[in-house]
C-alpha cells in the first residue's frame, strides 16, 4: 500500500483493512476496520480531512477528496463503485454509490440510499435515506426494498471478508521472467 504523510498528517488505517499497493492514501485520512481499498484508488487528505467507516469498500480507481479545512465523510458498510468521485460530501451508512458516479461538494446521501451508475449528485443536493437516484443530475426514482438490503448486506460482507482475510491469504504478486 502507498501511505503518504503530508503536512505532518499521517493516515490512520484499521488493522484488518486491505489497501492495494497501487492505491494512494495521503495525509489526513482515517480508514476504519475491515475496509477494502481497491487498485488505483486515490484518497487524498492533503488539505481537507477524509473519514471512512468500518467495512466500507472503495473500489478500483475511485477518487476521494475534500475542500481546504473541510471533511469528506463516508459511513460504515458503504460501497463506492469502480471509478466514482466523491468530493467533500457526506455518505451515510449502508449507501451504495454506483460505478462512475459523482457525488459533489456538500451533498449528502442518506442511509441505504443508492446512487446509480454514472449518476451525478450535484453540489448541495440531498438524497434522503432509502431512496434510489439516477441520472444527471440525480433524480429519485424509487425506494430501496427489503430484498435489496438483504442482497447488498451479503455483497458488503464479501468485500469485508476480502479485506480482512482473502486478499491477505490468496493475493500474491508474481514476476514474469
Q: What is the pLDDT along the chain (177 residues), one digit of tens a residue?
A: 689 999 999 999 998 999 999 999 999 999 999 999 999 999 999 999 999 999 999 999 999 999 999 999 999 999 999 999 999 999 999 999 999 999 999 999 999 999 999 999 999 999 999 999 999 999 999 999 999 999 999 999 999 998 999 988 998 888 887
**Domain-located, residue 176:** no
**Domain-located, residue 60:** yes
Q: What domain range is 16 assigned to?
A: 2-170
CA dihedral for 150, 102, 14, 166, sign (positive or negative): positive
**Domain-located, residue 12:** yes
Can you give the pTM of this predicted structure?
0.95
| Burial of 33 (C-beta count, 10 Å sphere; 0-12/13-18/19+) | middle
Q: What is the C-alpha to C-alpha distance for residues 91 and 146, in angstroms, rounded to an integer? A: 20
Number of domain units in the chain: 1
**Domain-located, residue 44:** yes
Grid cell for residue 10: 499521517
Q: What is the C-alpha to C-alpha distance for residues 114 and 140, in angstroms, rounded to an integer? A: 9
What CATH number does residue 60 fall under? 2.160.10.10
Amino acid at each position: 500500500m502507498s501511505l503518504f504523510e503530508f503536512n505532518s498528517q499521517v493516515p490512520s488505517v484499521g488493522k484488518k483493512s486491505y489497501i492495494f499497493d497501487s492505491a494512494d492514501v495521503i495525509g489526513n485520512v482515517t480508514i476504519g476496520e475491515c475496509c477494502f481499498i481497491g487498485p488505483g484508488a486515490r484518497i487524498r487528505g492533503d488539505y481537507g480531512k477524509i473519514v471512512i467507516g468500518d467495512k466500507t469498500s472503495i473500489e478500483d480507481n475511485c477518487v476521494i477528496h475534500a475542500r481546504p479545512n473541510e471533511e469528506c465523510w463516508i459511513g460504515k458498510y458503504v460501497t463506492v463503485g469502480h471509478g466514482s468521485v466523491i468530493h467533500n460530501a457526506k455518505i451515510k451508512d449502508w449507501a451504495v454509490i454506483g460505478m462512475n458516479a459523482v457525488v459533489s461538494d456538500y451533498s449528502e446521501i442518506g442511509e441505504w440510499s443508492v446512487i446509480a451508475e454514472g449518476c451525478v449528485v450535484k453540489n448541495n443536493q440531498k438524497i434522503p435515506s432509502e431512496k434510489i437516484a439516477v441520472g444527471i443530475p440525480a433524480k429519485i426514482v424509487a425506494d430501496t426494498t427489503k430484498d435489496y438490503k438483504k442482497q447488498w448486506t451479503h455483497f458488503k460482507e464479501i468485500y469485508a471478508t476480502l479485506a480482512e482475510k482473502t486478499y491477505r491469504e490468496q493475493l500474491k504478486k508474481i514476476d514474469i521472467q
